[in-house]
Amino acid sequence: MDVSVVILAAGQGSRMKSALPKVLHQLAGKPLAEHVVDTARQFSSDITLVVGHGAEAVKAHFSEQPVRFALQAEQLGTGHAVAQALPELPKTGTVLVLYGDVPLTRQDTLARLCALVDDHTLGLLTVKLDNPTGYGRILRDADGLVQAIVEEKDASDEQKAITEVNSGIMAVPAWALHEWLPRLSNNNAQGEYYLTDLVALAVSENIAVKTAHPDQFEETLGVNNRVQLAQLERWYQGQQAEQLMLAGATLRDPARVDVRGKVTVGPDCDIDINVVFEGDVTLGANVTIGPNCVIRNATLGDGARIEAHTLVDTAVIGREATVGPFARIRPGTKLADSAKVGNFVETKKALIGEGAKVNHLSYVGDARIGAGSNIGAGTITCNYDGVNKFTTEIGEGAFVGSNSTLVAPVTIEDGAFIGAGSVITKTAPKEQLTVGRARQVTVKGWVRPEKG
Ligand code: UD1
Ligand code: CA
């Protein structure tokens, strides 16, 4: 299928009441227009974004992506918008027109629409709505053939009663777009060049107009204000939750899990309330996630347990490992199988070996902890001298007493034992007790001071 895609994203979106262009507002953690671009990219490498209001911001957002831009300096209607992209468009094949503020149309739906189109057929994505107010209505003749689209503002009362509406999404043979767009007029209620007038033009030139329909009408909903944005977000999240459940995860409340990215789950995961997934997340089998957790760009092995109120960011959590409650796992952390990170512990660029434990109130940054080591409560790796970062190496089976301060670069060898409250600045040798703290003294004959 040879499809070029034009995405209309020049409108102001004034009802958003925002300094940010509407198409950059986020749904599920991603700008509206990026949802559209990502869907389009699945079947076309020829994508043109028509920008106008907030053009610089929209272009900046997509600057790293393989899309072209066409500028619509003045917003004179949807037909005018597509006309701005004409110089970029091939003269053969199909042109699919999408809206940057209609984010959730599925790829299958668009494929069905494009499959209708050939050099003598135009395709429209239409949908029946209980309340069609505001949309263009689809006019059909006695045989059910589409004759035209009439905009709400131009429609008679009889036409307004029609419930089949134009989603706005259409697929047109490229040659026809080149021929017909220059012929549109703005002689209508809004003084705009309507893309929808192509339909009547097609009919007058004996080009067939066929319609396709989405599986769910929400696929064609646009965002005009923040209420609609929130409604569409809820619908999308409902879909994501359903997919997770169908894939074998238990969601304690499907209305209280948000997916802002892509999550894959193994069988029998159990996800409590208020969990937010961001980016790419992979859960193995039997993973448990407690309430109020954020899991971002992470892989969690089979049987891993994330306890309540924990953030896991850009990390790998091994099989049967446990994290939290109240832990902050920062980028570059890797917990081996059965490792434990407990409450009020922060880790960053830390490799924590198999079965190792950092159970309470610690900071472990730029560190490697060998298998089976135990890091006592309140232990801090001092990894930063104000300019550079340094590494702490802890061997296997080491025991670091509570409230120790490990001043990096420093090494704690295998089986080393550190007395509580130590400040460690030099290598702590293998299998020996190292203590780095002032000795406790009791002053004999000391007398409590009295009021003079
Ligand atoms: C349009 C359709 C209507 C359809 C409805 C579906 C026309 C004339 N009407 O109406 O049949 O039911 O969408 O939502 O096409 N845009 C530009 N430049 C412009 C005008 C619009 O880029 O000059 C963009 C907007 O940013 C938006 C999209 O095109 O993404 C649709 O524009 P909008 O003004 O919302 O069209 P509607 O009047 O809703
Ligand atoms: Ca609209």
Name the helix (H) or strand (E) containing 280. strand 275-283
Residue 207's closest CA among 109, 116, 85, 79? 116
pLDDT at 1 > cutoff 90: no
Q: Each residue of 112-148: pLDDT tens digit? A: 999 999 999 999 999 999 999 999 999 999 999 999 9
Atom number in ligand 1 closest to CA 12: 26
CA within 13 Å, CB half, 328: 9
Q: Are 119 and 175 in contact (CB under 8 A)?
A: yes
CA of 101 to the centre of ligand 2 (A): 8
Q: Residue 257's Cα: distance from chain center in Å?
A: 14
Strand partners, 52: 54
Q: Are 380 and 363 in contact (CB under 8 A)?
A: yes
Domain 249-434 has CATH 2.160.10.10: yes
Give the burial class of 437: count Cβ atoms within 10 A of its Cβ; 0-12 exposed, 13-18 middle, 19 or more buried: middle
Using CA atoms, how far residue 388 sits from 339, 362, 405, 408, 435, in Å, is 28, 21, 18, 10, 26
Q: Each residue of 254-268: pLDDT tens digit? A: 999 999 999 999 999
Name the helix (H) or strand (E) containing 333. strand 333-335
Q: Are 312 and 330 in contact (CB under 8 A)?
A: no
At residue 12 the predicted structure's pLDDT band, cuts being 50, 70 and 90, is: confident
Q: Superfamily for 3-220?
A: Spore Coat Polysaccharide Biosynthesis Protein SpsA; Chain A (3.90.550.10)
Could you tell me the two tokens for 120? Answer: 């003598």
Pairing of strands 121-128, 410-412: unpaired
pLDDT at 156 > cutoff 70: yes
Using CA atoms, how far residue 364 sits from 315, 317, 333, in Å, is 14, 15, 10
Could you tell me the two tokens for 91? Answer: 């003269």
Measured from the alpha carbon of residue 32, the closest ligand is 1
CA of 155 to the centre of ligand 2 (A): 16
Out of 78, 98, 150, 159, give the residue to mutate to test ligand 1, the one with the largest number of ligand atoms within 8 Å of its CB: 78
pLDDT number for residue 341: 98
In whole angstroms, give the CA distance from residue 306 to residue 324. Answer: 6
pTM for this one? 0.94
Sequence ranges of the domains in the chain: 3-220, 249-434
pLDDT at 372 > cutoff 70: yes
Map tokens 């089986």 to a residue. Answer: 415
DSSP code string of 155-184: --HHHHT--EEEEEEEEEEHHHHHHHGGG-
Q: Each residue of 22-69: pLDDT tens digit? A: 999 999 999 999 999 999 999 999 999 999 999 999 999 999 999 999
Residue 286's closest CA among 324, 248, 254, 258? 248
Name the helix (H) or strand (E) containing 236. helix 226-246
Could you tell me the two tokens for 218? Answer: 């929400």
Using CA atoms, how far residue 35 sits from 29, 57, 70, 103, 434, in Å, is 10, 17, 19, 5, 57
CA of 76 to the centre of ligand 2 (A): 14
Mean of per-residue pLDDT scores for the chain = 97
Name the helix (H) or strand (E) containing 257. strand 257-265
Q: Are 295 and 312 in contact (CB under 8 A)?
A: yes
Closest CA to ligand 1's atom 26: 11
- Tell me what percent of the residues of the chain surpass a pLDDT of 70: 100
In whole angstroms, give the CA distance from residue 89 to residue 202. Answer: 19
| Integer-rounded Cα radius of gyration of the chain | 31
In whole angstroms, give the CA distance from residue 127 to residue 221. Answer: 10
End-to-end distance of the chain based on CA atoms, in angstroms?
Answer: 99
Binding pocket residue ranges, ligand 1, CB within 6 Å: 8-11, 50, 52, 72, 75-78, 80-81, 99-101, 135-136, 149, 151, 165-168, 194-196, 222
Measured from the alpha carbon of residue 228, the closest ligand is 2
Using CA atoms, how far residue 398 sits from 358, 370, 401, in Å, is 12, 8, 10
Residue type, position 359, single letter: N
Q: Residue 352's Cα: distance from chain center in Å?
A: 29
In whole angstroms, give the CA distance from residue 233 to residue 212. Answer: 24
Tally of CB atoms within 10 A around 106? 13
Would residue 25 show up in a list of annotated catalytic residues for this protein?
Answer: no
Q: Each residue of 63-118: pLDDT tens digit? A: 999 999 999 999 999 999 999 999 999 999 999 999 999 999 999 999 999 999 99
Closest CA to ligand 1's atom 25: 11
Q: Are 103 and 22 in contact (CB under 8 A)?
A: no
Name the helix (H) or strand (E) containing 238. helix 226-246
Map tokens 């040659």 to a residue. Answer: 175
Map tokens 């997934």 to a residue. Answer: 277
Helix (H, G, I), strand (E, B) or coil at 296: strand
DSSP state of 89: S
In whole angstroms, give the CA distance from residue 105 to residue 98. Answer: 9
Q: Each residue of 308-356: pLDDT tens digit? A: 999 999 999 999 999 999 999 999 999 999 999 999 999 999 999 999 9
pLDDT at 213 > cutoff 70: yes
CA of 322 to the centre of ligand 1 (A): 51
Residue type, position 84, single letter: Q
Please report how the helices 32-41 and 107-115 are oriented relative to each other, as an axis angle in degrees rounded to 10: 50
Residues lining ligand 2 (ion), CB within 5 A?
Answer: 222
CA of 87 to the centre of ligand 2 (A): 25
